[in-house]
């Protein structure tokens, strides 16, 4: 399974030509609202039977089997699955293709946080045209919100990252640390562990934009509001404050390992117990299994620590969708593939190969929930993760330029992790820099 959350190191470069061509209607934000259904299911079915050629750009490895099965079911459709790079590499290529108007895929994998950027310049099709709105109850609440904006649906969720607490039970047991259920307890556990063993840390965090926004999300903060091109960035709300105050304690107490995520050091720490837990998306198990083999059998999964005792709120971290570039010439057929891959047979096949589902049916399937993971000591990990998926706080949105905002996180909030100012200060400068960029890009930002 792919890693859906990475540091936003590489960028999505929207090329100038794209904007020159796509901008003409970009400044009428709410024009017309959602498009009416003009293509019926029967039309889509007819297109599938008639056949044709499709190009799909995706890096998700579980799609390989989906494509093969799809072609068996619809023998007249030829699907070319292309790995055009992971994440932002692919977005750059996609933007170039959109700008050039040639070499365009008919379907592209786009992560949730990057989708608004494509939606903004209308380079991905509104799936309402194909009656996508009726599929609302098929997908989990969180993922559906992630692909929807102002009534328009820009893609189908293919996986998701409801968050949970992954922890090394052996380390916790050794130091008699109870599994924390609140962030308060988490901080106490962090202190206890680090005191008992100076080399061990409860977790590693050297500043990660995705993690920060996810925790603010869970705490009920809504720092970003987006209405067309009217954007607000406000890190002063109560949810953000809760996060900043709590996490500052961990930073001040030097209770976070400064190891940078996804590096060899990090995997080593996860394997040898010096990084004792992770609060992250549901796509993590396969990464632990392959990256931290040394800890086989030692890890467990528990519900995400809460901001209020007894609370049941979670957030998403990572995950991606399949979208149809608006300039594709084969959109009806592409929609047929999207449906196949995102729901029903396709979704099931992907889950069997290790993806974490975004559809309610797969999420609640008994064989999915009861699957025992040897790496997690035989625990039925999916039960915990599926429960988290149903508890995602609604109403979150990312900025239409989140890729950029995340890239300057290190310049601003990251400073707090090396003792230059507090998280509060950092968030304030992050806000200022994001506002400045938004204004420069022509948004109305408050």
Partner 1 sequence: MVTRRSWIGWQFTGPFLAVFALVFLAPIGYSAYLSVFRTRLVGGTSFVGLENYTKALSDPQFWEALSRVTLFLAVQVPIMLGLALLVALAIDSGRLYGSGFFRVAIFLPYAVPAVVGCLMWGFLYSTRFGLVGNLNEAFGVTLPEPLSPDHILTSIGNIVTWEFIGYNMLILYSGLRVVDTALYEAAAIDGAGQFRIIRAIKLPALRGPLVVATIFSIVGSFQLFNEPQILDSLAPNSITTYFTPNVYAFQLSFLGQQINYSATIALIMGVATMIVAYVFQRRSLKGVA
Decide: is 210 part of the binding site for partner 1 (CB under 8 A).
no
Q: Which is nearer to partner 1, 12 or 146 (CB)?
A: 12
Decide: is 305 part of the binding site for partner 1 (CB under 8 A).
no
Closest CA to 108 of 129, 123, 121: 123
Closest approach of partner 1 to the CB of residue 275, in Å: 11
Decide: is 423 part of the binding site for partner 1 (CB under 8 A).
no
The residue from 100, 253, 420, 446 that contacts partner 1 (CB under 8 A) is 420
Residue 53, C-beta contacts closer than 8 angstroms, at least 6 positions apart: 77, 78, 79, 80, 330
Q: Which is nearer to partner 1, 233 or 343 (CB)?
A: 233
Closest approach of partner 1 to the CB of residue 333, in Å: 30
Decide: is 324 part of the binding site for partner 1 (CB under 8 A).
no
Q: Is 349 exposed, middle or buried (0-12, 13-18, 19+ CB in 10 A)?
A: buried
Q: 235-247 burial, b for 16+ CB within 10 Å, e for fewer?
A: beeebbbbbbebb
Closest approach of partner 1 to the CB of residue 86, in Å: 15
Q: Which is nearer to partner 1, 13 or 135 (CB)?
A: 13
Decide: is 101 part of the binding site for partner 1 (CB under 8 A).
no
Would you state the structure tokens that stand for residue 67, as one six-digit string? 């494509």
Decide: is 251 part of the binding site for partner 1 (CB under 8 A).
no
Residue 96, C-beta contacts closer than 8 angstroms, at least 6 positions apart: 15, 18
Q: Which is nearer to partner 1, 99 or 153 (CB)?
A: 99
The order of strands in the sheet holding 299-303 is 277-281, 163-168, 299-303
Residue 430, C-beta contacts closer than 8 angstroms, at least 6 positions apart: 235, 405, 408, 409, 412, 413
Q: Which is nearer to partner 1, 106 or 208 (CB)?
A: 208
Sequence-ordered strand ranges (E) for 147-235: 148-149, 152-153, 156-157, 163-168, 203-204, 224-227, 230-233
Closest approach of partner 1 to the CB of residue 74, in Å: 38
Closest CA to 212 of 52, 48, 414, 33: 414
Q: Which is nearer to partner 1, 27 or 53 (CB)?
A: 27
Closest CA to 93 of 81, 104, 106, 79: 104
Decide: is 120 part of the binding site for partner 1 (CB under 8 A).
yes
Residues touching partner 1, count (CB under 8 A): 45
Q: CA-CA distance, 37 to 359, in Å (whole number)?
A: 22
Q: CA-CA distance, 142 to 313, in Å (whole number)?
A: 12
Q: Which is nearer to partner 1, 14 or 301 (CB)?
A: 14
Do residues 311 and 84 touch, judged by C-beta distance below 8 A? no
Query: Interhelix angle for 209-218 vs 238-252, to 10°?
Result: 130
Closest approach of partner 1 to the CB of residue 211, in Å: 13
Residues 213-232 that bind partner 1 (CB under 8 A): 229
The residue from 207, 221, 223, 336 that contacts partner 1 (CB under 8 A) is 207
Task: Give the per-residue contact string, 128-167, with partner 1 (x = CB under 8 A; - = no).
Answer: ----------------------------------------
Residues 5-64 that bind partner 1 (CB under 8 A): 7-16, 19-20, 23-24, 26-27
Question: Taking contact as CB under 8 A, which single stretch among the options 232-240, 330-338, 374-382, 404-412 is the one that binds partner 1?
Answer: 404-412
Decide: is 313 part of the binding site for partner 1 (CB under 8 A).
no
Give the single-character DSSP code of 413. Answer: G
Residue 364, helix vs strand vs coil: coil
Q: CA-CA distance, 123 to 184, in Å (whole number)?
A: 44
Q: Which is nearer to partner 1, 28 or 53 (CB)?
A: 28
Binding site for partner 1 (CB under 8 A): 7-16, 19-20, 23-24, 26-27, 92, 120-121, 206-207, 229, 259-260, 263, 265, 268, 400-401, 403-404, 407-408, 410-411, 414-415, 417-418, 420, 437, 440-443
């Amino acid at each position: 399974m792919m890693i859906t959350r990475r540091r936003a190191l590489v960028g999505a470069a929207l090329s100038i030509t794209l904007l020159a061509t796509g901008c003409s209607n970009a400044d009428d934000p709410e024009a017309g609202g959602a498009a009416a259904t003009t293509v019926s299911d029967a039309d889509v079915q007819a297109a599938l039977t008639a056949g044709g050629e499709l190009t799909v750009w995706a890096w998700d490895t579980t799609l390989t089997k989906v494509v093969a099965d799809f072609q068996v079911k619809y023998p007249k459709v030829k699907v070319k699955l292309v790995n055009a790079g992971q994440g932002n590499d692919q977005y750059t290529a996609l933007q170039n293709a959109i700008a050039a108007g040639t070499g365009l895929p008919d379907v592209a994998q786009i992560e949730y946080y990057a989708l608004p950027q494509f939606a903004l310049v209308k380079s991905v099709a509104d799936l309402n045209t194909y009656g996508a709105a009726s599929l609302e109850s098929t997908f989990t609440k969180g993922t559906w919100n992630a692909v929807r904006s102002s009534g328009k649906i820009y893609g189908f969720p293919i996986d998701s990252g409801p968050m949970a607490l992954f922890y090394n039970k052996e380390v916790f047991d050794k130091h008699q640390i109870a599994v924390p259920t609140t962030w308060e307890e988490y901080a106490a556990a962090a202190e206890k562990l680090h005191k008992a063993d100076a080399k061990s840390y409860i977790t590693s965090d050297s500043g990660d934009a995705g993690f920060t926004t996810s925790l603010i999300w869970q705490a009920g903060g809504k720092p970003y509001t987006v209405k067309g091109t009217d954007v607000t960035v406000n890190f002063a709300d109560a949810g953000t404050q809760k996060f900043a105050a709590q996490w500052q304690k961990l930073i001040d107490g030097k209770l976070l390992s400064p190891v940078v995520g996804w590096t060899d050091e990090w995997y080593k720490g996860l394997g040898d117990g010096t990084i004792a837990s992770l609060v992250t998306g549901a796509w993590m198990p396969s990464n632990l299994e392959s990256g931290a083999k040394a800890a086989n059998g030692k890890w467990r999964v528990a519900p995400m620590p809460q901001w209020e005792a007894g609370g049941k709120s979670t957030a998403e971290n990572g995950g991606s969708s399949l979208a149809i570039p608006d300039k594709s010439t084969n959109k009806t057929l592409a929609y047929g593939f999207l449906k196949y891959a995102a729901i029903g047979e396709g979704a099931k096949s992907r889950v069997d190969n290790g993806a974490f589902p975004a559809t309610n049916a797969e999420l609640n399937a008994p064989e999915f929930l009861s699957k025992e993971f040897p790496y997690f000591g035989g625990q039925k990990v999916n039960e915990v993760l599926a429960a988290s998926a149903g508890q995602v706080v609604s109403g979150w949105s990312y900025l239409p330029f989140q890729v950029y905002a995340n890239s300057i996180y290190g310049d601003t909030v990251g400073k707090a992790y090396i003792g230059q100012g507090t998280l509060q200060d950092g968030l304030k400068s992050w806000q200022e820099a994001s506002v400045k960029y938004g204004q420069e890009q022509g948004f109305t930002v408050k």
